[in-house]
Amino acid sequence: MPQQQQQQQQQKQKPQALAGGFSGFDSASFGGGGAQARGQRLQLFGETDGLVPMSGLTSGDSSSSTLMALIGLQRASGAFAWGDPLEKVLKLKKEEALTKKPEGVLEEAWLTALAVTYMEATEEHEEDLWSLVVEKARRFVERNVTEEGEIKRMWEEAKKIVEEIK
């Protein structure tokens, strides 16, 4: 009997395993859960709650924050949407930018070409931040602009616009 009681005691002392393989934490440990959960996250990760602030990824200057805002316009497809960051860097309203779009090119592809061209021409020093973003954007353009002549003309027009603002 004493051996059975000892085993029961050991079982009580083991942390309960949660779904996903975590043990020793309540279900609120990794999200939500109020002050107690926040306290547990602070113990684990420190003040950032396990997240690295975007400012920690950049040099902190306004160019970097503008770049991060521009990158934030990219959709899951790789395309760039129009937004204030793109308007700010191009110094154009959306209507003006679209009037310069080559005929036959989709709006999304054109906005993506403008964003990519801007990053490549003006943000060389931050290439580590945008290189994968640009790679995904270029794949989007290749999937959505199928004629070789259209692609070439689109990139040339985008380059002209960016050179005007440099």
Give the mean model confidence (pLDDT) for residues 120-135: 94
pLDDT band at 88 (very low <50, low <70, confident <90, very high): very high
pLDDT band at 4 (very low <50, low <70, confident <90, very high): low
Minimal CA–CA distance to 120: which of 131, 108, 109?
A: 131
Can you point out the beta strands (E) in 38-133?
Answer: none
Report the range of poorest mean pLDDT among 80-89, 107-116, 126-135, 144-153. 144-153
pLDDT band at 10 (very low <50, low <70, confident <90, very high): low
SS3 22: coil
Angle (deg, nearest 10), helices 127-144 and 107-122: 150
Q: Could you identify the residue written with the tokens 């129009």?
A: 82
CA atoms of 85 and 88, how far apart (whole Å): 5
Residue 148 phi/psi, 5° resolution? -55, -45
User: Cα 158 to chain center, whole Å?
Assistant: 23
Look up the pTM and report it: 0.63
Residue ranges per structural domain of the chain: 2-45, 54-165
Report the range of poorest mean pLDDT among 5-9, 36-40, 76-80. 36-40
